[in-house]
């Protein structure tokens, strides 16, 4: 049996729920108070068998991010099983500078596979610890937002915050 901690905090973009493993690494997170929606981001074999509500270490980083410390989320450990390419992609997402988003094509190139644009997009789509692995920093060619599991409104708000285009709250 695996036990994980569940914590929902309020943010300017709505409720933000975090599932953190026993080692303090974020397994999944997103802008919803619906625990089932967060669990659905995890492969069935990776889901904890028990959730305990409590404060997570990651919550402080989320609060710091929304207070203007955009680097705070990069200090939070994450736990995300996947293929070698997925793990490399998720690590690369954590290296994208806030306010300097990449297109899917640029992200594929950064991964060393310039023709693997669909694979790069899939890496973003399968990202469970949203915000901590900032897949919102990848855009369609031409700068269109593309999809985002938590809604394009949230994605736009995050990008605006990171580019200085909105007031930090």
- Catalytic (active-site) positions: 135
Distance CA(55)–CA(129), nearest Å, equals 17
Distance CA(104)–CA(119), nearest Å, equals 9
And the tokens for 122?
């899939």
8 secondary structure, DSSP code: E
Residue 145: HSE in the Cβ half-sphere, 13 Å Cα cutoff:
15
Distance CA(155)–CA(132), nearest Å, equals 14
């Amino acid at each position: 049996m695996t036990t994980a901690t569940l914590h929902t905090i309020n943010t300017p973009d709505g409720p933000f729920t975090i599932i953190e493993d026993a080692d303090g690494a974020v397994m999944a997170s997103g802008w919803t108070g619906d625990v089932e929606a967060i669990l659905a981001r995890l492969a069935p074999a990776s889901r904890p068998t028990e959730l305990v509500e409590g404060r997570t270490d990651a919550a402080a980083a989320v609060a710091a991010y929304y207070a203007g410390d955009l680097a705070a989320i990069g200090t939070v450990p994450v736990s995300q099983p996947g293929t070698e390419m997925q793990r490399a992609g998720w690590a690369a997402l954590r290296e994208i500078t806030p306010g300097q988003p990449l297109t899917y094509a640029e992200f594929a190139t950064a991964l060393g596979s310039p023709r693997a644009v669909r694979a790069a997009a899939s890496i973003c789509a399968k990202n469970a610890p949203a915000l901590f692995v900032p897949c919102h920093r990848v855009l369609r060619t031409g700068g269109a937002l593309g999809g985002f599991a938590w809604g394009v409104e949230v994605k736009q708000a995050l990008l605006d915050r990171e580019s200085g285009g909105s007031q930090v709250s």
